[in-house]
Every structure is written in C-alpha cells, then in structure tokens.
Structure 1
C-alpha cells in the first residue's frame, strides 16, 4: 500500500491527519506514547501512514510525521525531528514500528 498523499509541509500533514481523526498529539518517551497526561504502550500501535520531510538547506530541518492507530481505537500523530535517537529505547521503539509497517505493506 503506497501513500495516497504527500503534503507540502509538516504543518499541512498534521492538520490533514487531524481532520481524519488522528486527534492525539503523541510524544515518545521510552517505550510509551504519551498524550493528554496518558501513557500508551507503543507496541499497541501501528503506523497507518508516514511522511518524511528533508531540509532543503539544513539537515537539522528533517522531520517525520507518523499517523498512528491502535486496535483499541486511539489515533494520533507523532512528529520526530533530526537526531531523535538521543533516547536509545525510543529509537528501538520507532524501529519496531517501522518494521511492522514495512511487513504490513510488503516493503523490504
């Protein structure tokens, strides 16, 4: 399954995803997604879609927007920037989410 849209900016992507019901704004702390003073186990979520942005003149402007959903019905957005790997556990969680996404979509 390929992405249907590619939005021009991170802001546009997050606005359009919010219109589609991705209403939680996640942060990733260790192996949990946090939003609105709630913590959700990251392994309960799958990447529904993702959008990558590369800085034209500055690699520090790189960002990835993740549309995430759980089987229990929670839907939200996680935006990560360049150098997110400062937290090794969070980096491992993102790798696992990417792996599940690639397997589901037949990517290698």
Structure 2
C-alpha cells in the first residue's frame, strides 16, 4: 500500500481527510505512515465482527476453565450465542421472546420490541 501511495501526487494525498479500513494493524500502520493527517474510521461490520470474535474467545475460554472441556453443540450457552448473532429478522417470535426474557429477567417492565 505504501508503494502505491508513493506513486500518487502529494496534492491528492493531502486532499484525503478520512480513510475507512478494516480492523488491521498493518493497514492502520500504512495509513499512519503514508497519510499521517487523515482520520481513520472502522466500518460497523468490522467492529461487530471483532466483538463477536472476542465474545467467542471468552466463551470458549470460560467453558474450558469451568467445564474442563470444549463446548458441545448441545450446551445452552452455545445456542444462546448463536441466537445473539442472528439478526432480529432471522429469529422467530418464539426465539426472540426466549432471548429477550432471558436477558430481561429481574427487570420490571421488560417486554419484546
């Protein structure tokens, strides 16, 4: 990327104010070096993807520490995770209500949207 930026005009590089990238230390370093005056933005998809990866790693680590084994497809926590990763449009009303009620237990006035 830096080699490509070096082939572009300085005027063009200075006109760039914002850059949208995925979550990559390599891309960020290249932007910081080649376009130091720009603001870096990360797309919504990549933020959600990173959060899901972190949740997956934490769930996997916790399952191994607590249960002394890998998780199984029949584990309730696994099905809850799969449900949380799906969009509302892909859930049946029953699946959404199950998820919502589990998240809202103990809170008065909780109801599905």
Common fold: TM-score over 0.5 = no
Give the structure-1-normalised TM-score: 0.33
Which has the larger share of strand? 1
- Structure number, greater radius of gyration: 2
Which has the larger share of helix? 2
Give the structure-2-normalised TM-score: 0.32
